[in-house]
Chains A and B, each alone.
Chain A
Amino acid sequence: MTTAPRNAPMALRVAPMALRLALIILLAALVLAPGLFEPVFAPIAPVGGPVIYTRSSLLSLSLSHLGLVAAASLASTIVAVTLAILVTRPAGEAFRPLSRSITNIGQTFPPVAVLALAVPALGFGVGPTLVALFLYGLLPIFENAMTGLTTLPPQVLEAARGTGLSRRQRLWQVELPLAAPVILAGIRLSLVIALGTATIGSTVAARTLGEVIIAGLLTSNTAFVLQGGLIVGLFAALLYDAMVQIERRLARRMGRS
């Protein structure tokens, strides 16, 4: 879903908005009134079996899923951005390779393995899922924050020093705002990965939309799998789109577009 250029024909400009609205309505209906979709899913449900997942409210599963993702991504963002700031200061430069390796390991470690390892330490439920999502979310944000903070226009940095901004003022007033669009792009990737990955949290009894999918897999009910997958996918697509819009707006204000 991209925004058409300003001089594009009316239809091209309205189309993305209409598509966005349609997806939001579809998602709301799937979560709030799943019964409406019974005729759609019936053909792929087992004969005589349930078509719509009713064991728990899809709304509460969605909220719990989103809450987990939000909490884990917030933690990843804070840690990854702080780390990137530290290693891009002159004093922290020596730690750059080390911090890269750590975040890389976070990314290459399979989330299932993280869950398996974390359960003995943290028990079943939300804890291990949060850890897995947190570790998994670090790398994209760290890499983007590093890129954003190390590719700032040198003349602007020189001017920031020359006008008498202190180190702290340069960071908050110049470096972070200018790197923001790139950092946000990292957060966007991380969020989308986390939205998908959170589904496996259900295997260790965290309440996520994965519950619907796993119930479908266990009872060979394709309707459940599709229902859960569709909701997660729509959340991911809409969130991705919203973030892209924010990044665009920021970049345009900074004359970087």
Chain B
Amino acid sequence: MIEIDRLTRLYDGKPACDAVSMTIETGTITAIVGTSGSGKTTLLRMINRLVEPSSGEVRINGTPTHSEKPHLLRRRIGYAIQGHGLFPHHTVGRNIGAVPRLLGWPKDRIAARVDELLTLFSMDPSEFRDRFPAELSGGQQQRVGVARALASRPDLLLMDEPFGALDPIIRTRAQDDLRQIQRHLGSTILIVTHDMDEAIRLADRIAVMDAGKLVQYGTPAEIIAHPATPFVAEMVGEADRPLRLLALLQVSELAESGPADGPEIAPDATLRDALSACLWSGRESLPVRGTTQRVTLEAIRSRAGAHA
């Protein structure tokens, strides 16, 4: 559990991050969302003490972070940034093994970990291990950057707009990979983004920041359905709210018995996908794959409208 307790940072007397308190459960993804300059990066960098707080403290599993030397603290906390920051003069393997090497792991354990992570990120270890970062595509560099941050199985992984430099298709894939790998490893992740879509897709909980203050902290469904301030509502996008809500729900939740014709839809597809399929094929209902059930346009409509 990560406890952030009235964390404040002043620059020239003005708060960049203003008394932010929040608790992050182990094994979850939390997204920090806000416009540019709202203090997201400052908040994140205070957690691994790249920025020293003006006041307040952070506790990881009950231990305050200021009770340890900063560079030793950082070896326990993974850190991945936009533009990856890979060491250009080290091979992919050496980059990923950077923190384990600092922690003094034996060579064969580091090698095994490097190969495990490369495999996890769908990069063939024998092909990529000995390459230099300049010999990778942008998407591969980003994956290696995230793999490096995960290498020592850190208590916490901090990510600052890690996918900001990727094009949309690769970006979506990177988000899916991250979600899958997080479930697989059970990591605790705190990710900064200015993209509400990314936050909704990835996060168990979303923290919305505005002018240095934490203005709302809740599940994606809460944030979409009940924005606490006009600013949050604007971040969510008034017009997109029903679609965003549907994107959080699965077809199986609305499945009901009854007949339906045409191509089937997967039970774990989102209601947004189901709505899209209905509109596109002009059908009132879709059969749900692997069942005798269906999902109807009527049910989707009433679900999306329930919060309006």
Contact = CB atoms under 8 A, between A and B. Distances in A.
Interface of A: 153, 155-156, 158-166, 169, 174, 177-178, 253-256
A132 B254 CA distance: 87
B79 A163 contact: yes
Contact of B132 (A162, A164, A166, A255): A255
B50 A162 contact: yes
Given A254-B88, A255-B135, A162 B48 contact: yes
Given A253-B132, A255-B135, A164 B83 contact: no
B98 interface: yes
| Most B CB within 10 A of own CB, among A161, A169, A174 | A161
Contacts of A174: 87
A163 B89 contact: no
A164 B74 contact: yes
17 contacts: A155-B81, A155-B83, A155-B84, A155-B85, A156-B86, A159-B87, A160-B85, A161-B50, A161-B74, A162-B85, A163-B98, A164-B71, A164-B72, A164-B74, A164-B75, A165-B71, A253-B132
Contacts of B72: 164
A155 B81 CA distance: 8
Contacts of B134: 254-255
A239 B85 CA distance: 35
Contact of B89 (A158, A159, A178): A178
Nearest to A177: B89
B102 A164 contact: yes
B272 interface: no
A156 B102 CA distance: 17
Contacts of A159: 79, 81, 84-87, 145
Contacts of A162: 48, 50, 74, 79, 81, 85
B194 interface: no
> What band does the interface of chain B fall in when counting residues whose beta carbon is under 8 Å from A?
20 to 34
B148 interface: yes
B88 A163 contact: no
Contacts of A153: 85, 88
A254 B90 CA distance: 8
Contact of A158 (B71, B75, B81, B132): B81
A251 B59 CA distance: 43
Given A153-B85, A161-B71, A174-B87, 9 more contacts: A153-B88, A156-B87, A158-B81, A158-B85, A159-B81, A159-B145, A161-B74, A164-B75, A254-B134
Contacts of A177: 89
Interface string B60-99: 0000000000011111000101111111110000000011
A256 B88 CA distance: 8
B133 interface: yes
Nearest to A173: B87
Nearest to A169: B102
A159 B134 CA distance: 16
B133 A255 contact: yes
A155 B145 CA distance: 11
Interface string B126-138: 0000001111000
A163 B133 contact: no
Contacts of A255: 88, 132-135
B94 to A, nearest CB: 10
A254 B134 CA distance: 8
B71 A254 contact: no
A84 B72 CA distance: 28
Nearest to B69: A166
A159 B89 CA distance: 14
A166 B132 CA distance: 23
3 pairs of A and B residues whose beta carbons are closest in the complex: A255-B134, A159-B85, A162-B79
Nearest to B72: A164
A159 B74 CA distance: 11
Contacts of A166: 71
A230 B280 CA distance: 83
Contacts of A160: 85, 87
Contacts of A161: 50, 71, 74
A161 to B, nearest CB: 6
A163 B148 CA distance: 9
B76 to A, nearest CB: 8
A90 to B, nearest CB: 14
| Most B CB within 10 A of own CB, among A153, A156, A256 | A156
Contacts of A155: 81-85
A97 to B, nearest CB: 26
A26 to B, nearest CB: 37
Nearest to A166: B71
A177 B132 CA distance: 15
| Most B CB within 10 A of own CB, among A155, A156, A162 | A162
A161 B69 CA distance: 13
Nearest to B136: A255
A178 B88 contact: yes
Contact of B102 (A165, A178, A253, A254): A165
A124 B89 CA distance: 47
B27 to A, nearest CB: 22
Contacts of A158: 50, 81, 85
A163 B50 contact: no
